[in-house]
Structure 1
Amino acid sequence: MRRADSVVSFADEIAMIAMYQRALRTLLSLLLCVAGSFALTAAQAAPVAATAPPAPLSLAKVQALISSASRGRATAQSIFAGPGGLTGAVVSYKDAPNAPPSVIWVNDDASALLVGKLIGPKGEDLDKQAAQKVGLLLAPDKALAAAALPATNAIMVGSKGPVLTVFIDPNCIFCHMLYQQLEPLVAKGALRARYVLVAVVKRSSFAKAAAILSAKNPAAALQQDQAAFDPKTEEGGIKPDSAPSKAVTDRIGANNALMSKAGGDGTPMLLFCSKDGSVQQLEGMPRDVNTLLAELASRPRTRLRRLKRSTVQTLPRDMLRQRGACRLSAGKSAPARSG
Structure 2
Amino acid sequence: MFKKSLVIMARALLAAWLVSSISACAKKTPASSTSTESAATATATSSMAAVPAKMTPSDLWKLMGKKLTYIQEGHHGPVVYDFTDTNCPFCHLIYVVEARLIREGKLTVRYVPVAIIKPSSMPEAAAILQADNPVAALQKAEDAIDKGMKTGKPAKLARATDAIGKASPKTIEAIKKIEANNVFLQEVDIDELPDIIYLPKKGKLGLITGLISEKKLTELLPQMQ
Q: Same fold (TM over 0.5)?
A: yes
CA distance in 2, matches of 1:219, 1:296: 23
Q: How does 1:91-240 map to 2 (within 5 A)?
A: 144-149=61-66, 151-229=67-145, 230-231=148-149, 232=152, 236-240=155-159
When normalised by structure 2's length, the TM-score is 0.65
The aligned residue for residue 15 of structure 1 is: none
When normalised by structure 1's length, the TM-score is 0.44
For residue 198 of structure 1, what is the amino acid of its counterpart? V
| CA deviation profile, 1:59-79 (whole Å, cap 9, x unmatched) | xxxxxxxxxxxxxxxxxxxxx
CA distance in 1, matches of 2:49, 2:83: 20
C-alpha contact 2:73 2:108 (8 A) present in aligned 1: yes
CA distance in 1, matches of 2:69, 2:173: 11
Q: CA deviation at 1:159?
A: 1.9
The count of residues paired between Structure 1 and Structure 2 equals 169
Q: CA deviation at 1:193?
A: 0.7
Alpha carbons of structure 1 residues 144 and 198: separation in structure 2 relative to 1, 3 Å: farther
Which structure has the bigger radius of gyration?
1
C-alpha contact 2:78 2:107 (8 A) present in aligned 1: yes
Alpha carbons of structure 1 residues 160 and 221: separation in structure 2 relative to 1, 3 Å: same
Runs of 4+ residues deviating >4 angstroms: 138-143, 297-300
Over the matched positions of the two proteins, sequence identity in percent amounts to 30
For residue 142 of structure 2, what is the amino acid of its counterpart? Q
Q: CA deviation at 1:274?
A: 2.5
For residue 261 of structure 1, what is the amino acid of its counterpart? E
Structure 1 residue ranges without an equivalent (≥5)? 1-122, 301-339
Structure 2 residue ranges without an equivalent (≥5)? 1-44, 162-166
The aligned residue for residue 88 of structure 1 is: none
Larger relative contact order, structure 1 or 2 (CA cutoff 8 Å, min sep 6): 2
CA distance in 2, matches of 1:297, 1:277: 14
C-alpha contact 1:265 1:283 (8 A) present in aligned 2: no
Alpha carbons of structure 1 residues 280 and 202: separation in structure 2 relative to 1, 3 Å: same
Please state whether the residue corresponding to 2:81 is helix, strand or coil.
Answer: strand
C-alpha contact 1:156 1:193 (8 A) present in aligned 2: yes
